[in-house]
A and B are shown apart, each in its own frame.
Chain A
Amino acid sequence: MDHLSELTYSMYADGELPEPERLRVQHHLAGCPACRAQVAALEAENQVLAEAFRLLEEPDASRSRGSIGRSLLITVGSALAVAVGLDRLVVAVDNLAPGATSWISLSWFQGILFNNAFDVVREGPAMLNALVTILGLLVLGAVIAGVLRHFVSRHPMSMAILATMLFAVALPRPAAAMEKRSTESVRIGPEETVNDSLLVSGDSLEVDGTVNGNLIAFGRKAVIRGVIKGDLFVFEQQVDISGTVEGSIYTSCQTLTLSGHVGRNLYVWSQTVQLDPGGRVDGDILMGGDTARLRGSVGRDAALLSGNMEAEGNIGRNLQAYTGALTIDRSARIGGNVEAHVKKQQDADIESGAVIGGKTEISLEQKSPSHYTEVKFYYWQAIWMAGALIIGLLLHWIAPGFFAARLDSGDSLWRSGAVGLLALVAPPLLAIVAFITLVGIPLGVLLLGLWLAGLWMAKVFVAAAVGRGLMRPRPGEPPSFAVPFIVGLLAVFVAINLPYVGAWLSLLIVPAVGLGLAVLAVRKGMISRPAMV
């Protein structure tokens, strides 16, 4: 007896076999258990297929509706982490190849980063710098990996370009590895030089020699009398630094005593911090803790959040303090402004004889003057919004394609954010390359101009997309551009003026997402246009 083909059975199971053939199959099935089983299996398979197809109806539809808040939250959070990661990356690259990243303006980056972090700290729980750093790097790594995977899977050529770029970046670097030491007590003798970065965990750590990379230490007590060429990360109960740290110090400890020299900045979260008279920090100090005593010298700004604060030494620029009690000793020399936030007027004690180069401003905690109460602020915001509205409407009129990308799911937010991040970084880099070639200067100028315009327009793109997400067109009505756009502008306006989050939104997230939206829209337009013919 001849079996029939599987295609025939498949059609039979679908109920699609014409009459004569169907009868033939039925006839065969009656006498062939194997084929009967096959057909039964095919029918069950159809059932499963139909069920699998139905899966997408509900969850996805609901996801697309109410998820923008969650996606925004995730995006804000991860953008923060990415920013921290980027910051660390810049510092790391700068350490490996000094000057390579000077165009990024490290202090600007760190300023934003840590001033915001400081604001967060002021509001609530302690922030462990290192934890944030590690998380940031991890998320950054994940994002980069994701973006790479996406690109490589779509554009095989990009793999070659990527490899070339990686070579270009990787080759000139000195080999830098991490050495690990983990014993009860670790000692780097006066004659000893560690050429790599060093990770130490143990009860006590003493450094009399030299570490050419970064030093990362966990334990109970750390004494640094030698030289650390990179950054120092310490998480110990007691930290004593009388040597030199050429990079920055990041530490979370119980007691920090610094009588040595820090080439860059000091970030510390510690119960007690003491900067001894001989101690010197060339950059900024950012600290949170219970008691702070600054008797040495700080090259730039000092920002402190502490219960008690005493300043006796030199501070090159501004002193910004959120404290329970502030004493500025008669021996103190402060180059810039003093900005103190205390509870009561008498908590701030500035002795006569103290030299303060700039203004002294003591604000009491309760009444924080806010620009939200000023008419001027709203006036300028109104002008900004009117400008954005006009430009947005004009652009939509001229080239509606720019607004084609959408922002209504977590995926799209992520994608535009990632693409935007590239668009944020790549043009200035390319412009620099163009400038270097001299011939390319006009191109570089053009590129920079476009980039700046894009940065400004980013808010407009985000506003349009947010507006569209908030106000879905009612079915049956032609989707309008203007009304959702205005709603979106208002939403963006409110969001970028939120405390803490606002700075991140306006400096990083909105530009990145906005640029990404524009790039994606243009790309979408370029792909679909030929097909429209």
Chain B
Amino acid sequence: MSRLSIQGLTVEVAASGARILDDVSLEIAPGEIVGLVGESGSGKSMTSLATMGILPPGIRQTAGRFLVDGVDVTAQRQRSVESRFAMIFQNPRDSLNPLMRVGQQIARMVALHQGLDRRAAQAAAVELLGRVHIASPEQTARAYPHQLSGGMCQRVMVAMALACRPSLLIADEPTTALDVTVQAQILDLIVELTEQTGCGVLLVTHDLGVVAETCDRVNVLYRGDLVESGPTAEVFSAPQHEYTRYLLEAGRELEVDDGAA
């Protein structure tokens, strides 16, 4: 059974009725990392926001269902702790509360989702920081976001996501703002935790290199339409849709180029 099943998601601008997403469906199996790619304006981020139930004002979902482990959660996504969706974003430092120590932020999630008291939640937060491979978790738990590097902040976000024992992790451009060496570490971490927890991951990215190295399957969005979907190796070696071929060529254009010297 799929961890997440999105069925016929349609999203529009409320005022004009302009379509942002048109009948998008996708499935994520337990322990599977599924890529969602496309260029600026293709609707990638709207798909992740709609799934979380946090579309911006003026944008509305007009059709579509969300099933988690076979249960329809379309109506409860925003309110229910039961939906067990977690999300990490492109700018981890902006996603954290700048005025609160990071350990406390994680502990709040733990308390909310696991019903622990304050002391136990704080201990659990430190343990989670260890699980995301932060070397000195006690010390880091006492730090404020501005005292941490971008990569450290993203690890904290992943720890917060783990606190709610998610069935589904949505990672929206999680490494776009990070250096390549740090990006590699965060991707390794996401892959490792997916293995350990069996949650599904929706990895939203514009970087086809990231998809090639981390995703089991990939979905290609073009102007709100899902134009291609399949196992990563197949899509990369034999893309069916013209737009997918164009994206792959654009990504390889610089790699194969040898005329500069």
A and B: bona fide binding partners? no
